[in-house]
Chains A and B, each alone.
Chain A
Amino acid sequence: MTDYKMHLLICGGTGCKASESDEIKNRLNQFIEKHGLEDDVQVVMTGCFGFCEKGPIVKVLPDNTFYVQVKPSDAEEIIKEHVVKGRPVPRLLYTDPKSEKHVSDSKGMDFYKKQIRVALRNCGFINPENIDECIARDGYQALGKCLTEMTPEEAIKEVKDSGLRGRGGGGFPTGLKWEITRNVENDQKYVVCNADEGDPGAFMDRSILEGDPHSVIEAMAICGYCIGADTGLVYIRAEYPLAIQRLKVAIRQAEEYGLLGEDILGTGFNFRIELRYGAGAFVCGEETALIHSMEGLRGEPTFKPPFPSVSGYMGKPTNVNNVETLANIPVIINKGAAWFSSIGTEKSKGTKVFALAGKINNVGLIEVPMGTTLREVIYDIGGGIKDGKEFKAVQTGGPSGGCLTKEHLDIPIDYDNLLAVGSMMGSGGMIVMDEDDCMVSIAKFYLDFTLEESCGKCTPCRVGNKRLYEILDKITQGKGEAEDIERLKELSFVIKDTALCGLGQTSPNPVLSTISNFENEYLAHVVDGKCPAGQCKSLLRYDILEEMCTGCTLCFRNCPVGAITGERRQPHYIDQSLCIKCGVCYEKCKFNAVILT
């Protein structure tokens, strides 16, 4: 192996690739060649660094310089200045918004200071398509340790003692799940990795698979050893082509190294991994639905019990774990249960990856110890709300979760605390909303999602959610009545109590949590006929103030539907029956004569 003096790491995640990180890599290589530095400098395309807001990112090692929002045209300067002359390029450095100073070392950035990266340990450090780089960072060491030094029972005990709980949403203790599957007698068992990340706004599983596929493969093999399975299946969304490709490369490399296949490390243990593709159905994240989908059927859930641990894929005992859960396993085996359980809260151990998105300054992927508060996540790591607006709510747990408010900002985040305040951990999506977001519309948005994704098998979900949606739609159209709020609540409770699977049982959560935290906003819609956030068009009214209007005709000329009338230099008027509330007049008026009520 060549001993490079310097490494340029460039993010090869989906987001940064969309911003031409491939082209940046090509240009960097081109200028490295031009300066004859091929033997000294290596460009490595890694997985996601997490700081997606400022992507594409280029990190220079060994000095840890962190360049943000790099463009292909910046490549020449990085090579000429930084690599050749040893002078960092200040204009590409991250500027701390508080001190307004450049921060060169990523360790000094607020975004990274409070993070502890366990599941994401290799993302942004290694080339995911090179197994040697993974092995250099302890990859497959845990598998070796399990196979040669530990019995399956000992390995399961380690996972149990660590307190690791399922990261896909439910929070079921992982070690216990393994033990149950191990204890079922059968000649054929399966390990399934659930990579059907359907929660919109959550992208941690994708990033782990794109940035560190070997850790997931290793964990699946460990799980296979523990429960007595020789086959692993990864159920992955077809919408994630890059993750699929990297996973395929990683499986092939692991096979070549004898870390998958027959007689792994000469221990007589056999394990192989196959891929199964999802086809765009949120409900397939539910384990029974996922199993049906893998069998080539419609992804409809079935009643539990029997649990997949007893009767799963092809009727055989099947252990289903989420990607992030699996990514924690090798570290637990290597560093021990005691180390892992020293992080986190009493009942939620370790760290959790969150996908921060929405109206927040630092959109990205972060990993923090369980027990970190929402305030730390949103303000310290996330850098606060975009454009200096007011924080209104944060939605956790995706379509099954709820909206939390200012009051909840100081709650330590863990499974039980989030449930207690009417939301849930879910897979870790965190969507931040500001004063301009209407909470009734947000509830309607989620219901629209559930409606489309409901498999249609059980009536409460299929029909009940449709009715919920209709009532919410009526309210946003300005046709709501005060009784509608009670109707929403009653129907929500019925759906929660009677739906068959997790999707149906949790689908009213966005409605209930917005009603309980923002009842005044619902009342404003149904009683006063107003949308406080100014989002529900039917409840808006544009008027022209006669005394302010100069008759410049700008609004008249720009109105797309001809709803504005008036003579030059005379006050203009809006015909409310024609107005489509597009707001063009409001934006165009230079004299603040158009008002919104």
Chain B
Amino acid sequence: MPKIKLAEHTIELIKTICAEFGNKESELINVLHKVQGELGYLPAEVQEVIAKELKASVAKVYGVVTFYSFFTMIPQGEHPISICMGTACYVRGAEQVLSEFKRQLKVEVGESTEDGMFSINCLRCVGACGLAPVVTVGEKVYGRVAPTDVKKIIAEYRDGCTSDSKTA
């Protein structure tokens, strides 16, 4: 992975967040949540700063980041698409919906489109099983999604018109 040069103010931001949690190693997960919330992802260079501030080894920070599926080292698309692959959604056809997203956007799970607009991820149950299969784009939840709806959902964002054509 190519090295990223972190901007001075980004490093300051990370340091401030670490300090908010008292620079305690036991607060690592809370720190990571907050930093990812600010920066969108946790590349190696960011992990190095956190490790130094919390006086932990980089290996430990990396170990924690890669253990939990919520943390990502790859930048997300502008509109992160998550397809719920919980059991309820699976038996109601989530797999076909996922294939259609992959086919339309020509990316695999965990990747972003070349223009950086979309990324696809799977998640395990948002708990809206009554609406299965469920897809979330950013904060917006789409329920009872059929493979034929995929094109429309993508178009909503690509054309910049976020109409409420299909929300459940």
Chain A interface (Cβ < 8 Å from any Cβ of B): 14-15, 17-20, 52-53, 55, 197-203, 206-207, 238-240, 276-282, 293, 295-299, 314, 355, 357-359, 363-364, 395, 398, 429, 431, 433, 437, 442, 445-446, 449, 452, 455
Asked if A240 and B88 sit within 8 Å, CB to CB, the answer is no
Question: What mask results when residues 143 to 168 of chain B are scored 1 for a CB within 8 Å of chain A, else 0?
Answer: 10000000000000000000010011
Question: Which of B27, B69, B85, B130 has a CB less than 8 Å from the CB of A15?
Answer: B130
Within 8 A of A (CB), among B82-111: 85-88, 90-92
Q: Known interface pairs A282-B124, A449-B124. Does A19 touch B91 (Cβ–Cβ under 8 Å)?
A: no
Asked if B168 and A14 sit within 8 Å, CB to CB, the answer is no
Residues from chain B with Cβ under 8 Å of A279 in the complex: 29, 32-33, 68-71
Q: Known interface pairs A55-B130, A296-B29, A355-B129. Does A429 touch B87 (Cβ–Cβ under 8 Å)?
A: yes
**A and B contact pairs by CB, cutoff 8 A, 6 listed:** A17-B141, A20-B164, A200-B85, A200-B125, A296-B24, A363-B129
Nearest-neighbor residue (CB-CB) of B54 within chain A: A296
Residues from chain B with Cβ under 8 Å of A298 in the complex: 63-64, 67
Residues from chain B with Cβ under 8 Å of A437 in the complex: 91
Q: How far is the CA of A575 from the CA of B69 in the complex (A)?
A: 42
Chain B nearest Cβ from A193, distance in angstroms: 17
Residues from chain B with Cβ under 8 Å of A17 in the complex: 141
Asked if A201 and B129 sit within 8 Å, CB to CB, the answer is yes
Residues from chain B with Cβ under 8 Å of A15 in the complex: 127-131, 143
Asked if A52 and B26 sit within 8 Å, CB to CB, the answer is no
Within 8 A of A (CB), among B10-29: 24-29
Chain A nearest Cβ from B136, distance in angstroms: 9
Residues from chain A with Cβ under 8 Å of B39 in the complex: none
Chain A nearest Cβ from B55, distance in angstroms: 12
Residues from chain A with Cβ under 8 Å of B129 in the complex: 15, 52, 201, 203, 355, 357, 363
Residues from chain B with Cβ under 8 Å of A452 in the complex: 69
Asked if B127 and A203 sit within 8 Å, CB to CB, the answer is yes
Asked if A18 and B68 sit within 8 Å, CB to CB, the answer is no
Q: Known interface pairs A52-B129, A429-B87. Does A296 touch B168 (Cβ–Cβ under 8 Å)?
A: no
Asked if A206 and B127 sit within 8 Å, CB to CB, the answer is yes
Chain B nearest Cβ from A443, distance in angstroms: 12
Question: Which of B29, B124, B131 has a CB less than 8 Å from the CB of A293?
Answer: B29
Residues from chain A with Cβ under 8 Å of B120 in the complex: none
Tell me if B35 is interfacial: C-beta within 8 Å of chain A: no
Tell me if B74 is interfacial: C-beta within 8 Å of chain A: no
Residues from chain B with Cβ under 8 Å of A446 in the complex: 87
Asked if B70 and A280 sit within 8 Å, CB to CB, the answer is yes
Chain B nearest Cβ from A198, distance in angstroms: 7
Most buried by A among B70, B85, B125, B132: B125
Chain A nearest Cβ from B57, distance in angstroms: 12
Residues from chain B with Cβ under 8 Å of A52 in the complex: 128-131
Residues from chain A with Cβ under 8 Å of B123 in the complex: 239, 280
Q: How far is the CA of A55 from the CA of B141 in the complex (A)?
A: 14
Q: Known interface pairs A238-B70, A279-B68. Does A359 touch B92 (Cβ–Cβ under 8 Å)?
A: yes
Nearest-neighbor residue (CB-CB) of B130 within chain A: A52
Q: How far is the CA of A67 from the CA of B155 in the complex (A)?
A: 33
Chain A nearest Cβ from B127, distance in angstroms: 3
Residues from chain A with Cβ under 8 Å of B130 in the complex: 15, 52-53, 55, 357, 363-364
Nearest-neighbor residue (CB-CB) of B86 within chain A: A200
Q: How far is the CA of A281 from the CA of B25 in the complex (A)?
A: 20
